[in-house]
A and B are shown apart, each in its own frame.
Chain A
Amino acid sequence: MPNERTMKQIILWLIMIIFVSFLAAVVLFILSGDNWFTDYAYKSRAICSIPAILRLQ
């Protein structure tokens, strides 16, 4: 196993990758309009306004 310092860097990189990739995925799903993600988001009213606005456009 790598030493503690390298492990900390790997963990930080993984956290950044997780954050950025999921954020990018949410933004892209919303931008793509009608799909399974926006359907669920719309039904659950979690981010209901964004897909609704996109649909109106």
Chain B
Amino acid sequence: MNQHDFLNALRLELEKVPHVDKEGIIAHHQEFFRIGLEQGQTEEEIAANLGSPQAIAGYYEAHHMIGLAELESSLRNLFYAIKAVLRLGISNLVLILGPVLGVFGAMAALLSAGAAVSLAGLFLFGGVLLNLLEPGIVNIPSAFYSDGLTAAATLCMSVGFIALGLLFLIGDYYLGRILYRGTLRHLHFHLRLPRREDTYAQ
């Protein structure tokens, strides 16, 4: 593939990627060809060293998606950024998908734990109150409401559980924010790994 074919193919691939400076990227790659030719390489060799136009367009798309996810924090943007980086190569599938799935699993477990503590408190509170109003309406152990003081103690305990679960969920939210930023840094790190075109940039 000579310079003309390469740049045409790159232009076509970049057409599929919105919000990127297409002309800037083309000019950037024309510069690589100029440097390569000065070094005595053929256009075909330079094109082969630069990689496929599809991969280059994918790189810029991933870069744009990560920037978008940094600018506007949302799970949707994070998902698109991960998807764009995953499309860059099979090695990313192992190096990114593994840690990302691990982080998502841990977050899901922590959120479930927080919600479970809160809901347990809520159900206990409701159950004791309903049993005090009409005994036997909800099936909970009578040890929780055998007398007035025990019922009051159980109600206090359940309020404590509800608050503890909510505090747990707030902690999960802050942890999620840290992990969101960490995931984006991880994606950035993968994009910064040496690329073929860096040979000419030096």
A residues at B contact (CB < 8 Å): 1, 7, 10-11, 14-15, 17-18, 21-22, 24-29, 31-33, 35-37
Q: Given A1-B173, A11-B167, A35-B143, does the pair A17, B149 have CB atoms closer than 8 Å?
A: no
B 147-183 binary contact with A (CB < 8 Å = 1; else 0): 1111011101101100110110010010000000000
| 8 Å CB contact of B149 from A11, A14, A22, A31 | A31
B153 contact from A1, A14, A29, Cβ within 8 A: A29
Total contacting residues, chain B, CB less than 8 A:
19
**Interface status of B91 (Cβ within 8 A of chain A):** no
CB-defined contacts of A21 to chain B, threshold 8 Å: 156-157, 159-160, 163
B202 at the interface (CB under 8 A from A): no
Q: When the two chains form their complex, are residues A7 and B170 in contact, meaning their CB atoms are under 8 A apart?
A: yes
Contacting residue for A35 out of B150, B163, B164, B167, CB 8 A: B150
Asked if B146 lies at the interface with its beta carbon under 8 angstroms from chain A, I say: yes
A-B contact pairs, 11 of them (CB 8 A): A10-B170, A14-B166, A14-B167, A15-B167, A17-B163, A21-B160, A21-B163, A22-B156, A24-B156, A28-B150, A32-B147
Cβ-defined contact, B167 with A28, below 8 A: no
Q: Which residues of B contact A32 (CB under 8 A)?
A: 147-150, 153
Q: Which residues of B contact A31 (CB under 8 A)?
A: 149
Question: CB-CB < 8 A to A1: which residues of B?
Answer: 173
For window 21-51 of B, CB contacts with A under 8 Å fall at none
Q: Which residue of A lies closest to B148 (CB)?
A: A32
Cβ of B128 to closest chain A Cβ, rounded Å: 12
**CB distance B160 to A17 under 8 Å?**
yes
B146 contacts across to A, CB distance below 8 A: 35
- Nearest residue (CB) in B for A35 is B150
Give Cα distance in the complex from A24 to B163, angstroms: 14
Chain A residue numbers with a CB within 8 Å of B166 are: 14
- In angstroms, Cα B148 to Cα A26, docked, is 14
A17 to chain B, nearest CB (A): 4
CB nearest neighbor in A for B154 = A25
Q: Please measure, in the bound complex, the distance between the C-alpha atom of A36 and the C-alpha atom of B140, giving whole angstroms.
A: 14
- Cα A29 to Cα B153 with chains together (Å): 6
